[in-house]
Every structure is written in structure tokens, then in C-alpha cells.
Amino acid sequence: MLNIAVCDDEKEIRDYLSGRIYDLLAEEDLDGKVTAFPDGESLCALYEGGKADFDLIFLDITMPGTDGMTAAKRIRAVDKSVMLVFVTASAEFVFSGYEVRAFRYILKPDLVNGFPGVFRECLKELTKSDEVRFSFQAGAKTVWVPVRDILYFESDKRKIIIHCAGEREHSFYGKLDSVEETLKKHDFVRCHQSFLINALKISSLRQGEVTLTDGSAVPVSKHRAKETNEAFLWALR
């Protein structure tokens, strides 16, 4: 299920976008949930409290208080992978979007005509990333987990625990070395003998510990600190 946020100080715009999103998701036979925010501060507070995990955010640039660009920078500080689309009344702020890696922008005067096309582009990109999945055996059943949902893997003796966004967990028997080999091309880094983390989910890094976007603290061993820091910097690209 796709988790989508709409942040705009105009209720009419919030209601229109929310309704169109549900309509377009239904046309594509996709499940999704839309959460509307009347201002940037409430959206940022949710992220900074470790309680947000959106796939896509439609964000008004010109809002009173915490404007869209400020909100985008604060969100990017804790979530490197969420897709941002700016909704703006004027094109003058568009180029500033590169600073926060905005995926697209929509001009409000062209919202009715322009939104469906932009939204379908977002869906194409999001569902493409969904194709990257990690699989494991649970008895006779094969379980598939979208890689973008995974925060980190934890090894406990012969058991591997997968910690996912939204406090979801999976477990199976295996070796963390094998998991690391499988995911080495997907921004995962071995920060500790017992932990493999998704570098795209790192919100901060300090000596001996990394904090992920949900607020989880994972240890970083001394001899893996350099590799972890490099992965974090690479994920910021």
C-alpha cells in the first residue's frame, strides 16, 4: 500500500488532491492512503518524531509559517528516499527544488490538467522501486519484502530479524553474510557484525551509533565506522 501525504494551507487544494489521488489509484488498481496536512510544521513534526513513513509527498511551496522549501529540507534531514512533488502558484521557486531532490513540480493554475500526468509518473517510479524485493523462506512459503520498506537486518545467533517501517518485523533462519551479499547493490551497509542497515534510512550518524528514520538506534563498530559513514554520504547524493 502506498502512503501519500498532501500538505497545503488551502483546504480546497488539499481536498482536490486527496480526491484525485484516490481516483487515480483506483484506476491503476492500487491501494493507498492519503493523509492531509494544513501546514508544513505539522508534517515536519511527524517526521522529526519518528512517526512518518510516506512514499510520496505533495508539498505546497508558499505556505505561512513553515513554507514548503523549509519543510522539504527538514524532511530530507530524516528521510532521504521519500518522493517530493512541489505544488506551487509560481514557477519562480522551481529550481530551488533541486536542492532537496524534488521529483517533479506542478503549477496550481494547471493543476486540473497537469496533476494526472505527474501522478502517473510518480506511480511508475514508485512501483518500479517496488520491484526490488528481498525474499526468504518461512517454512514452505516464500516471503517477499520491498527493499524500500526495510530499515535494517539484525542477526541473533542463527536467526535474522528484518526490521521494517511501521514497526513491522519478519524473521527467518540464515546468515547475515548472505543477506549482505544479496543487497550489496541496494544501499545496504554492514555497520556491525550483527547489523546490516539501509543507508537510505539513516537520519544521523555519530561515534558508535547510527539513528534511523523511525528513531531506532543501531550500533556501529569501530572497524566498520568508515564504511558506514561513506555509505551515508553516498546515500545523500
Question: pTM for this one?
Answer: 0.59
Instruction: Using pLDDT thresholds of 50, 70 and 90, give the confidence band for residue 132.
Output: confident
pLDDT for 2 equals: 85
pLDDT for 90 equals: 67
- Given a cut of 70, is residue 46 above it in pLDDT? yes
- Contact call for residues 203 and 79 (beta carbons, < 8 A): yes
Region 48-69 average pLDDT? 89
Instruction: Using pLDDT thresholds of 50, 70 and 90, give the confidence band for residue 129.
Output: low
pLDDT for 96 equals: 57
Q: Is 26 left (phi over 0), alpha (psi -120 to 50) or beta?
A: alpha
Region 165-176 average pLDDT? 89
37 vs 162: CA distance, rounded Å:
31
Percentage of the chain lying above the pLDDT 90 cut? 52
Query: Could you give the residue ranges of the DSSP H alpha helices within the chain?
Result: 11-27, 40-48, 68-78, 111-130, 176-183, 225-235
- Given a cut of 60, is residue 56 above it in pLDDT? yes
Q: Tell me: the pLDDT tens digits for 188-230?
A: 999 999 999 999 999 888 889 999 988 999 999 999 999 998 8
Dihedral angle at the C-alpha atoms of 80, 193, 139, 165, nearest 10 degrees? -20
Instruction: Using pLDDT thresholds of 50, 70 and 90, give the confidence band for residue 124.
Output: confident
148 vs 26: CA distance, rounded Å:
23
Query: Domain 2-130: which topology?
Result: Rossmann fold (3.40.50)
Using DSSP bridges, classify how beta strands 32-37 and 2-7 pair: parallel, antiparallel or unpaired. Answer: parallel
Q: Which CATH superfamily is domain 133-235 in?
A: LytTr DNA-binding domain (2.40.50.1020)
Residue ranges per structural domain of the chain: 2-130, 133-235
pLDDT for 206 equals: 86
187 vs 204: CA distance, rounded Å:
16
